[in-house]
Structure 1
Amino acid sequence: MDAFYSTSSAYGAAASGWGYDSLKNFRQISPAVQSHLKLVYLTLCVALAASAVGAYLHVALNIGGMLTMLGCVGSIAWLFSVPVYEERKRFGILLAAALLEGASVGPLIKLAVDFDSSILVTAFVGTAIAFGCFTCAAIVAKRREYLYLGGLLSSGLSILLWLQFAASIFGHSTGSFMFEVYFGLLIFLGYMVYDTQEIIERAHHGDMDYIKHALTLFTDFVAVLVRILVIMLKNASDKSEEKKRKKRS
């Protein structure tokens, strides 16, 4: 990031832009695009609710696993193959994909519930706050200000995928696994900003596919939630182990 902010004066100029003037940038968004964003976020909320149902179904019936993950991927591929004008069908497919995604992360959710249910609540609230902050930052920023991040984030995502691929073959230590988690968290937080601005820019150019845009943000939200949950579970587990050692000693 130092390449982008090479001097303290440049940083000061950027920071000074985040005031009342930056909030006025929201006026750059036309009423049509504002209505589109409302529809996107409403659809996102419904998808998150469907995902919560999927996670609950796993906790109750133990249905989550490889099959639900493959079903989610297949549903997303099906969604992209359906014409945009078939809104009801695409909306139903989105909800199915979200439900299957929720079931796929269900084992992690169940682990958190069994360990300490407050961890799940804290992780969700933390993800929601981060999502809200980064989304607002993207909305009130100048148009196309963060779109330059696309190449950087794509490179980071490629590195993350290669790390996971290498780990699946050669194995990994706890340290390398946590590095992947933190690195992935950083990447998907960046995608929250980038994808929001890209959605706004596409809407300005006539792309009003709110279902596809909601799916994009849903993917970002779940990716961040999973990583925050893993980090919190790891920290809680370490604290629990430390307490046990102290009791033994």
Structure 2
Amino acid sequence: MTPNIQTFINSFQNRLEPPVRQHLKNVYGTLMMTCGAASVGVYIDMFTRFQAGFLSTIIGAGLMLMLIATADNGKNTKQRLGYLLGFGLTSGMSMGPLLNYVSFVDPAIIVTALMGTTLVFVCFSIASMLADRGSWLFLGGTLMTLLTSILVIQDSSGLCYAHIYLGLLLMCGFVLYDTQLIIEKRRMGNQDFVQHALELFIDFIGIFRRLVIILTQKEEQERRRKRD
């Protein structure tokens, strides 16, 4: 093992206690399962005749609310995990129409956006873990203010591009904030890795969706320039 890799591993071990490290393993393992469920949802919507459309969004919201409303008691993990995977599945299905359109523009955009999302998510997660304890928790108020601003901005206002880029910045900020918040919650005894995986999944999907839109818009603009 090279010295740089060993130093990197030692940094995690020094900053994160064994229970926290184990909790994060559970969180990210569950997150990967949820992303897998979302991929299945995308496939179902794009390549089968079963297209739930807006219904999948409503069902997904219901599953998320059921997960949040069902408190972790140590015995209902499978039930709550089922809610989470169902939410992941319906989230993928709700993205099907967008990705189907993008596949007609340039299928490579989907792969590029997925790789970019993974890279951004991993980098911001590691930065949050290696930062000083609680150093990113101050972002909470700012992020909620930005979220409120995004909700009131309408596409018809001519601020569509600002809306998308602001949303991307917001999601990156939430990765920093949510990661440190999850660590602090575990230190205070909260072992609800399913709920924590839900929070990070929402961040991941938020980044991916906005990168897809940004890359698609750039590709369409480039094609219009070539035609002109």
> What TM-score, normalized to structure 1?
0.84
Which of 152, 162, 166 is the matching residue for 1:179? Answer: 162
- The answer as to 2:147 corresponding to 1:157 is yes
Moved over 2 A (4+): 23-26
User: Residue 79 of structure 1: CA displacement?
Assistant: 0.8
Residue 105 of structure 1 aligns to a residue whose secondary structure is: helix
Look up the match of 2:218.
235
What is the rounded CA distance, in whole Å, between the counterparts of 1:200 and 1:64 in structure 2? Answer: 36
- The answer as to 2:39 corresponding to 1:56 is no
- The answer as to 2:179 corresponding to 1:196 is yes
* One-letter amino acid matched to 2:87: A
Which of 199, 203, 215 is the matching residue for 2:198? Answer: 215
Q: Within 5 A, what are the aligned runs for 1:73-152?
A: 73-84=61-72, 85=74, 86-152=76-142
What is the rounded CA distance, in whole Å, between the counterparts of 1:239 and 1:73 in structure 2? Answer: 36
Aligned pair in 2 of structure 1 residues 163, 62: CA closer, same or farther (>3 Å)? farther
Residue 241 of structure 1 aligns to a residue whose secondary structure is: helix
* One-letter amino acid matched to 1:30: E
Residue 182 of structure 1 aligns to a residue whose secondary structure is: helix
What is the rounded CA distance, in whole Å, between the counterparts of 2:142 and 2:50 in structure 1? Answer: 38
What is the rounded CA distance, in whole Å, between the counterparts of 1:24 and 1:105 in structure 2? Answer: 38
Query: How many equivalent pairs are there?
Result: 219
- For the 8 Å contact 1:57–1:103, the answer to whether it is kept is yes
- The answer as to 2:22 corresponding to 1:31 is no
Q: Which runs of 5+ in 2 are unaligned?
A: 1-6
RMSD value, Cα: 1.6
What percent of counterpart residues are identical? 33
User: Residue 113 of structure 1: CA displacement?
Assistant: 1.5
- For the 8 Å contact 1:25–1:141, the answer to whether it is kept is no
- For the 8 Å contact 1:26–1:139, the answer to whether it is kept is no
Greater shift, 111-120 or 146-155, is seen at 111-120
* One-letter amino acid matched to 1:183: L
* One-letter amino acid matched to 1:31: P
What is the rounded CA distance, in whole Å, between the counterparts of 2:137 and 2:123 in structure 1? Answer: 17
- For the 8 Å contact 1:25–1:142, the answer to whether it is kept is no
User: Residue 244 of structure 1: CA displacement?
Assistant: 1.5
Structure ID, larger Rg: 1
